[in-house]
Amino acid sequence: MASRPLATLARVTAWIARGAWLLVALIGGETIEAAVDGRSSNISWIAAIGGWAVWAVVAVALTIPSVPALTAARVGTPLALVATLVAGIAGTPSADLVFLSIPAFVALVAVFTADFGRQFVQASAYGDEERFPLHAPAAAGTAAVLAWLVWVTLLFSGPLLLGSRSWVTGAIASLLALAGTIFFAPRWNQLSRRWFVLVPAGIVLHDPVVMADTVALRTADVAGLRLAPADTEAADLTGPASGYAIEITTTKSVTAVFAFTPSEPDGRAIHLTAMLVAPSRPGQVLAAAGARGLPVG
C-alpha cells in the first residue's frame, strides 16, 4: 500500500485539478460569450453546448478515479487551452483570455503529473497490489500527441463550419472527428494502462503497448532491483522511454515477448536475466519494493 505522505500528495494533486477545472467553468462561460458576441445564433449555441459538454465529461472523469477516467481527463483537459486560443483568434479581450488560461493551465499540469496518474491507476487495482504508471515510450507518446492535434482541429472546426452553414466541409470535418474519437480513444487508453505492479507473490510488468503479454516474476525469481546504471546490459522493456529506469535482475532466465508489429506479427520473444522498466516515480517503486521485502539496492 502507498505510504500516507505519498497518498496525501496524490489526493491534493487531484483536488487541485478539480478546483482548477471548476474555475474553468466559472470563467469559461464569459469567455465563450465574448468570443461569439455578434455572431450567428447557430455559432453561439454550438459554442455553448460544445463547451459545456467537454467540461462535463472532464468533470465526471476528475470525480471518479479510474483508468478510463485518467484517459478522459488527459485528453479533455487540454481542450480548455485550445478553446482559449480559439477565443483569442475570435477577438476576445485579453483579460478574459488570461483569466481562463490560468486555471486551464493549472488543471492541465495537474492531470499530467505522475502523482495524479498514480492515484487514478491505483483506483482500479485489485486487492493488495500497488500500481505504478510507466513513462510513455517516445515513439508512442509522439504519435499520440500528433493524433490528438489532428483530432482536436477536426473537433473544433467541424461544428463551427456547420454553424457557419458550410455544410459539406463541416459535415466532413465532423464525421472525421467522430471517426477519430472512435479510432484513437482506445489507443490513447492503452497508454494509461501501462504500469509496474507489486503484488504479494512478486512483481508484474503490465504494458500492452510495448509487450505482447505481461511479464510476471515471483518473489523468489527476483535477484534485485536498483536504479539502472549507465552501463547496464539489461534488456530494455521501456519502449524506449525517457527518464530514469529501474534495473531488475532475476535468479533465472525469463521469457518476454514484445508486442506484435507488421514486421513481426507473432511478436518477438527474448530470454533475459535482467530487464529495464521506466516507472514515472522510480524512487516510490524502490521504496515500496523494499517495504515488501524484495531485494533493493
24 and 118 housed in the same domain: yes
How many domains does the chain divide into?
A: 2
Q: In the prediction, which pLDDT does 47 show?
A: 92
> Do the domain assignments include residue 44?
yes
Q: In the prediction, which pLDDT does 266 show?
A: 87
4 and 113 housed in the same domain: yes
Q: What mean pLDDT, rounded, does the chain reach?
A: 94
> Do the domain assignments include residue 297?
no
Amino acid at 271: H
> Do the domain assignments include residue 174?
no
Residues in CB range of 218: below 8 A, 6 or more apart? 201, 202
Q: In the prediction, which pLDDT does 5 show?
A: 56
CA 277/CA 137 separation, integer angstroms: 11
Mean pLDDT confidence for 172-180: 98
116 and 202 housed in the same domain: no
Give yes or no for residue 7 having a pLDDT over 80.
no
Q: CB of 70 within 8 A of CB of 120?
A: yes
Domain that holds residue 205: 195-291
Strands (E) located in 47-191:
130-133
> Do the domain assignments include residue 250?
yes
DSSP state of 260: P
CA 20, distance to chain mean position in Å, is 18
pLDDT, tens digit, 9 for 90 and up, residues 58-101: 999 999 999 999 999 999 999 999 999 999 998 899 999 999 99
Q: In the prediction, which pLDDT does 4 show?
A: 54
33 and 113 housed in the same domain: yes
- The domain boundary residue, chosen from 101, 124, 147: 124
Mean pLDDT confidence for 217-244: 96
Give yes or no for residue 1 having a pLDDT over 70.
no
Mean pLDDT confidence for 165-193: 98
Give yes or no for residue 220 having a pLDDT over 70.
yes
Q: In the prediction, which pLDDT does 34 show?
A: 86
> Do the domain assignments include residue 228?
yes
pLDDT, tens digit, 9 for 90 and up, residues 274-289: 999 999 999 999 999 9
Q: Which three cell numbers stand for residue 80?
A: 480548455
- The domain boundary residue, chosen from 99, 124, 149: 124
pLDDT, tens digit, 9 for 90 and up, residues 134-147: 999 999 999 999 99
**DSSP state letters, 41-59:** HHHHHHHHHHHHHHHHHHH
110 and 23 housed in the same domain: yes
Helices 167-192 and 67-76 sit at what angle, rounded to 10 degrees?
Answer: 140
> Do the domain assignments include residue 61?
yes
**Taking the CB of residue 91, how many other CB atoms lie within 10 A of it?**
10
CA 220/CA 41 separation, integer angstroms: 68
| CA angle at 101 for the pair 9 and 121, rounded to the nearest 5° | 30
What percent of the chain is modeled with pLDDT above 90? 87
Q: In the prediction, which pLDDT does 30 show?
A: 85
CA 90/CA 109 separation, integer angstroms: 26
> In which band, very low, low, confident or very high, does the pLDDT at 297 lie, cut at 50, 70 and 90?
confident
CA 72/CA 59 separation, integer angstroms: 10
Q: Which three cell numbers stand for residue 86?
A: 480559439
Give yes or no for residue 158 having a pLDDT over 90.
yes
Q: CB of 77 within 8 A of CB of 57?
A: no
**Taking the CB of residue 294, how many other CB atoms lie within 10 A of it?**
20
Give yes or no for residue 178 having a pLDDT over 70.
yes
Specify the pTM.
0.93
Q: In the prediction, which pLDDT does 6 show?
A: 56
> Do the domain assignments include residue 51?
yes
Give yes or no for residue 149 having a pLDDT over 90.
yes
Straight-line distance from the first to the last Cα atom of the chain, in angstroms, rounded to the nearest whole number: 20
Indicate the pairing of strand 268-277 with strand 235-236: parallel
- The domain boundary residue, chosen from 90, 124, 158: 124
Q: In the prediction, which pLDDT does 38 show?
A: 80
102 and 211 housed in the same domain: no
Question: Which residue from 251, 237, 249, 250 is spatially nearest to 279, judged by alpha carbons?
Answer: 237
CA 61/CA 69 separation, integer angstroms: 4
pLDDT, tens digit, 9 for 90 and up, residues 8-46: 777 899 999 999 999 999 998 888 888 888 888 899 999
> Do the domain assignments include residue 233?
yes
Give yes or no for residue 2 having a pLDDT over 60.
no
